[in-house]
Each structure stands twice: as C-alpha cells, then as structure tokens.
C-alpha cells in the first residue's frame, strides 16, 4: 500500500513538472510573438504629407506587398452632416466633382444604408476608359455622430462593358467627423488598382491628384443648394 502511495505522488510530481514545462513553453512563444509583432509595428509605413493647398491636406502611405500607394485627403468645413450625405448619395452629380467621372448610377439599392454603385471614368489618352462596380455601406456612429461611407469594388457583380476596362480593386472610406461648433472634418482614404497595363507610377500620380481635386469640388458643392438646406431623416445631427 505504501509503495502504491509513493508511486501516486511521484506521478503527481511528474505531472506538475510537465505543467510547469508547458507553461514555460507557452510563455516563451507569447514573448516571441510579442517581439515579432512589435517589430512589425515599427516597420509599418506612416502617412507622408505630399500636398497642402486650399485648406486640403493630402497624404500617401506605402502598403506592404502592394505596388500602389494608399491615399488620404482631409479638410475641415462648416456644414451639417445632412448636407454632406445628401451630395454623397446624389450619384448622378458625381460627374460634377468626382475626378474623371463621366457617368454614375445606383445599380441596386438594398436600403438607405446599402447599395451597389456603378461608375464610368473618362481616362486621358492613351489610357483606356475605366468603369467600376462597388458595394457601398453607410453607417453613423450613434454616440459620436460620425458618418462613414465605405465602398469596396465587386468587379464580377455586373457584366463587363465592351468600351471600358473594369477596375479590379478599390477600397475607399469617406468619414464625416463632427468637431464641435458646426465644424466637420471630412476625410477620404483610398487605395485603388486601375487594372490593365497602366504603370504604377501613373496610378500613383492619378490617386495623388484625383482625391484632392474631388475633395475641393465636393465641399464646394455641399455648401450650395439643394444640399445646403438638405435634411436626411436617417442622419442624426450633433448637438453643438
């Protein structure tokens, strides 16, 4: 009986030792992971300002494993959220402010917050004209009242058009951020692959110039009627 009891305690001691061993292994792996992710974070590219004009700041960021740059443009305007949203959802007016746009429509509307966008762009010679199909989602933060429009290309959603080359990848995010006292920060972040044989340097040049041009025209139009006095039932204005 005494021998069995000794064997039992030896077994427990071995299990305890094994538990400590695996605890050390898990801790070691965790430390390696933390160090590796810390090193990755240090290597992550940051925004680089490339232009500051007409109250609009433009930035670019290099992305890992992607040839094209990510672009951000931002400005601050005196406006109501409804004015900005009203212009954003007035798709036929895209041709008046979206860089190189010649036609735009809502191909399919699920509700006020989700729809499918189709646009055609008149590219400068000798580049072929492009078109884009994207799913758009509108969201408003119930606490901060920030409004977000996110568009993600879905090139296979519509048949190809014989006169246009379909843009294979696009991800854009518009943010309308209330700052107080009637001021709204308008931010656009964009990454796009135009497709085809268009050189990356030309794509990067276009996405650097295009968003800032679009932003300037957008905030100008939003300050005019019918957008200036627009009221959207599903958009909550901040209480200044």
Q: How far apart are CA 32 and CA 36, in angstroms?
A: 6
Whether residue 231 lies inside any domain: the answer is no
Whether residue 65 lies inside any domain: the answer is yes
Q: Do residues 169 and 54 share a domain? A: yes
Residue 17: is its pLDDT beyond 90?
Answer: no
Q: Do residues 72 and 29 share a domain? A: no
Beta 101-111 vs 69-78: how paired, if at all?
Answer: unpaired
Report the predicted TM-score, pTM, of the whole model to 2 decimal places. Answer: 0.79
Confidence of residue 63 (pLDDT cuts 50, 70, 90): confident
Residue 26: is its pLDDT beyond 50?
Answer: no
Domain of residue 87 covers 48-222
Q: Do residues 207 and 124 share a domain? A: yes
123-146 pLDDT, tens digit each: 877 788 999 999 999 999 999 999
Whether residue 197 lies inside any domain: the answer is yes
Q: Do residues 16 and 69 share a domain? A: no
212-230 pLDDT, tens digit each: 999 999 999 999 999 999 9
Q: How far apart are CA 225 and CA 232, in angstroms?
A: 14
Q: How far apart are CA 170 and CA 149, in angstroms?
A: 13
Q: Do residues 14 and 84 share a domain? A: no
Kindly state the average pLDDT of the residues 68-97. Answer: 96
Whether residue 232 lies inside any domain: the answer is no
Higher pLDDT, 44 or 163: 163
Confidence of residue 207 (pLDDT cuts 50, 70, 90): low
| Maximum alpha-carbon separation in the chain | 95
DSSP the chain: -HHHHHHHHHHHHHHHHHHHHHHHHHHHHHHHHHHHHHHHHHHS---EEEEEETTEEEEEEE-TT-SSEEEEEEEEEE--HHHHHHHHH-GGGGGGTSTTEEEEEEEEEEETTEEEEEEEE-PPTTSPPEEEEEEEEEEE-TTT--EEEEEEE-GGGSPPPTTSEEP-EEEEEEEEEEEETTEEEEEEEEEEE--TT--HHHHHHHHHHHHHHHHHHHHHHHTSTTTTT---TT-PPP--
Decide if 174 contacts 149 (C-beta within 8 A): yes
Kindly state the average pLDDT of the residues 13-20. Answer: 47
The pLDDT > 70 percentage for the chain reads 77
Kindly state the average pLDDT of the residues 142-156. Answer: 97
Say which CATH number the domain at 102 has.
3.30.530.20
Higher pLDDT, 79 or 36: 79
The whole-chain average pLDDT of the chain stands at 83
Confidence of residue 74 (pLDDT cuts 50, 70, 90): very high
- Phi, then psi, of 228 in degrees rounded to 5: -55, -40
Residue 40: is its pLDDT beyond 60?
Answer: no
How does 11-37 read in b/e, with b if 16+ C-beta sit within 10 Å? eeeeeeeeeeeeeeeeeeeeeeeeeee
Q: Do residues 59 and 175 share a domain? A: yes
Contacts of residue 83, defined as CB under 8 A and 6 or more positions apart, other chains included, come to: 222, 223, 227, 228, 229, 230
Q: Do residues 19 and 137 share a domain? A: no
Q: Do residues 15 and 54 share a domain? A: no
* pLDDT score for 42: 42
Whether residue 240 lies inside any domain: the answer is no
Q: Do residues 20 and 89 share a domain? A: no
Q: Do residues 77 and 162 share a domain? A: yes
Whether residue 107 lies inside any domain: the answer is yes
Ranking 8-12, 33-37, 55-59 by mean pLDDT, the lowest is 33-37
* pLDDT score for 134: 98
- How many structural domains are present in the chain? 2
Q: Do residues 133 and 215 share a domain? A: yes
Whether residue 104 lies inside any domain: the answer is yes
Residue 16: is its pLDDT beyond 80?
Answer: no
Whether residue 86 lies inside any domain: the answer is yes
Q: Do residues 38 and 54 share a domain? A: no
């Amino acid at each position: 009986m005494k021998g069995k009891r000794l064997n039992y305690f030896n077994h427990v001691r071995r299990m305890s030792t094994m538990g400590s061993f695996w605890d050390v292994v898990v801790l070691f792996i965790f430390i390696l992971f933390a160090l590796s992710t810390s090193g990755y974070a240090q290597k992550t590219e940051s925004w680089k300002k490339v232009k500051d004009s007409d109250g609009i700041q433009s930035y670019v960021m290099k992305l890992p494993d992607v040839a094209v740059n990510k672009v951000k443009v931002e400005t601050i305007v005196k406006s109501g959220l409804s004015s900005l949203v009203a212009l954003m959802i007035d798709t036929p007016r895209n041709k008046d402010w979206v860089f190189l746009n010649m036609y735009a429509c809502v191909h399919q509307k699920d509700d006020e917050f989700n729809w499918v966008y189709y646009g055609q762009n008149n590219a400068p010679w000798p580049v072929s004209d492009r078109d884009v199909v994207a799913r758009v989602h509108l969201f408003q933060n119930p606490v901060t009242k920030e409004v977000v429009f996110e568009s993600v290309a879905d090139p296979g959603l519509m048949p190809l058009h014989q006169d246009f080359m379909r843009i294979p990848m696009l991800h854009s995010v518009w943010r309308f951020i209330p700052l107080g006292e009637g001021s709204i920060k308008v931010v656009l972040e964009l990454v796009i692959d135009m497709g085809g044989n268009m050189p990356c340097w030309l794509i990067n040049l276009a996405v650097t110039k295009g968003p800032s041009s679009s932003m300037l025209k957008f905030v100008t139009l939003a300050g005019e009627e019918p957008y200036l006095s627009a009221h959207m039932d599903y958009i909550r204005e901040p209480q200044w």
